[in-house]
Structure 1
Amino acid sequence: MEVSMVVSLVVVCGAYAFFTYLSQHDSYVEVYEGEKSVVLPCQVFWLPEVTKVVWSRFALNPTTVHQHQHKDELHVQNQHYSGRTSSSPYALKTGDHSLTLKDPYLCDSGVYTCTVYSKGNMMGKKTVQLQVKELPPLFTRLLQPVVPLTGLLALLLVICLLFYFVYNHIPVSRVEVEDGAPLVMLPFQTETPLPADVTVEWSRCAPEPMIVHEYRNGHLIRQDKFYSNRTTLERHRVTIGDFSLTLRNPCFRDSATYICTVYKNRDIHVQKVVRLKFKGSWWSWFLGREY
């Protein structure tokens, strides 16, 4: 009896010490957007029989960023992190429950919680403050001794597109959105007569080319993963020449030049350019200070 009481006391004290240790040792991690990955630390080397670890971000719904129980359980995670998180397959044995987050975005900034369980009981948690910072202004990076070839190509692409917009007189709209806004509308209405069954393609040309939303016959047929589940093109509006695009949960990385192209059989009938500015982003400053 005395031995069992001692063991119980050790377990309780150990759990209390674990709670105290984690609460007093929160971490702060900084990374620039554009880095390949960032590691959120969570090491517990001495606690026995850890059976499950859950990384959460309570500002999201669902809150689960990553869950590991004998293996990574990605089916329960928030889709914003799909394909971007991983942990060591030996984490439960080694005690290193650090999370690797690939392709960090500005909107990934926030507080992450690492919660450790043992046989169904929560043993404690640790918080990590992640700050994803904007890249330095483009002109500063161009002054560096070595300029990546991709950066030069992107700059050349922007210049060519700007000349193209000017000399071809494509209508240009400017939209500004604040941090934390639930959605933003990229407007495009036309009274130009159009044939039936046109294809509507929203794309972005800078700073990172992507297919944002491609629509045909009432269906989304193609888009880049970054915009998955974040865009809507109203079918009933398309029929009356309103091709405005709704973009949900906008983040700094969405600051870009967008082009809506309406075409059929490779014949372009009408186009519209929308420059989306996220307040305070250096990319918007570069695109034009006339915002």
Structure 2
Amino acid sequence: MIMMMMMILLLVSQHALGGVVEVNQGAESVLLPCIYFGFTPDEPLLIWTRSYLSPNSVHLRRENGDDLKNQNQRFRNRTSMNPDALDSGDFSLTLRKPQQSDGGNYTCSIFDGREELNLKQIHLKVKADQQEVEVTEGSDSVVLPCRILSQLPEDTSVEWTRSEPRSMFIHVFPNTSKHYAQQDRSYSCRTEMKKDFLRTGDVSLTLMYPTHRDDGRYVCTVYRGQDVLRHTVVLKYFKVDQQEVKVTEGSDSVVLPCTTSSQLPEDTSVEWTRSEPEFMMVHSSSNQRNQDKLYRHRTEMKKDFLRTGDVSLTLRNPRDGDDGRYVCTVYRGQDVLRHTVRVRLPFLCFSTEHFPSWAKALLVLLVLLVLVLIVSAGALYHFKDHFLPALQVKVDSGVKSVLLPCRTNIYLPGDARVEWKNGENKTVHVYPNGSDDPEEQNLTSRTRMGDDPLKTKDLSLTLDRPSVADSGIYTCRVSIRKRVILVMKRVHLQVKDIVGQYQPDLKESLKMKIQSLSEGVAELGNKTDLNQIYTELYITEGSTREVNQE
């Protein structure tokens, strides 16, 4: 008995160890955790109180429900507990719409009619500050800052979330967390945290390729032992003014304008970049080693740009591939200034009037060769399915279902499209955007795929009740926006007609069995054909009732 009491006291003392819970003012709610593993008395009373408050009652739960008649008025209609708290031992309290005045020490306790046991003490911090981060259109990434001023233990977990336009997980660490697989698809492969954040306490999040849809509030939640620390970052997305520059035909160079204030500091640096079709460093005033080879020896800035503030870029020998958007970024002390320039190139044409005859003939041959190559490529693309090896799948008719296998080891993005077609190039089954689309299927009631095939990489198709008419070549194709093909495999299905194969033998067997009859005990060779036993019956018109002996 004494040992049991000591164990209960030990459990109570462990849970009474306090923790810190942080929340930003304006949040929907905050949870004050309190989990109890001890013995629950017959008539328990769960009590939440706050220090230096009169009355100090925050929430009270009896066995038959909440008792809030003595609750402090400032918590009216803002507190709640789980309905099954007494059965589950989860005595946690939810406080809605936390305010700065709600900060303080909260105590969770249980009363058995004789004495009150303190289970846990929590220090609630309601922070009014939230950090704003600005990002402009065309930026490659933005950092959402969140730092803890201490080294973090190994069991620390971090969650970056959003509540607008809906509740979603942006980034979760570690990958063993129950919420890791719940990352919103729109942020897949776009978020990253530093690998040494446990040592540095820097749990900032890098968001790559930000768009206008990323504008809004982000909450960083750090679970550190008993502490729950939160920090809010508001991301503001700005569209930048875009200036359009048209290149005239035959121009040797084009100037991409970008000006700022004069007398720039000595440590100012300028970068001209492109993000289409991929990120490219066009020109850098401080380091040209990262310049893309397509622009090497073709770009130039004025040498006195620090004095004049004119950071325009001269692009020599403009080509068709130079058409697109350019971003001028000026790093001036703590300021980051951006300006966007759109370069439009005209359709370039040329005259053959001054070409010699042999050059014209060569040009004609080159054009014909290009046409032949285009036609050949089109033919190869059209008949490409016929050159792929086909996996043989044989099955008897009458079986319940047959599996047409298609598996891959390559990475499949979430927006990939899986399409099964038969030998007549008719769509049999489609799996776009993570959900079956029956409108494009010809066998909607007889085809199905496994759950989440893009993640499992198992794209196999199950065909129910296969018949002889289903025999033929089936093609499994995985593509992005119906243009970029990632996977293509063929399956040759052969459905064997069991009924047609054995029907003649069965018919002959039945004919042999019923065409003759044995009288009495059947004896070998003593059989009479049925057509010799029964006579033909003739029906004639007339009123006679006698039997016709004909």
Q: Provide TM-score, normalisation by structure 2.
A: 0.26
> With CA pairs under 8 Å and 6+ residues apart, which has the higher RCO, 1 or 2?
1
Larger CA Rg, structure 1 vs 2: 2
Q: As a proportion of its length, which structure holds more helix?
A: 1
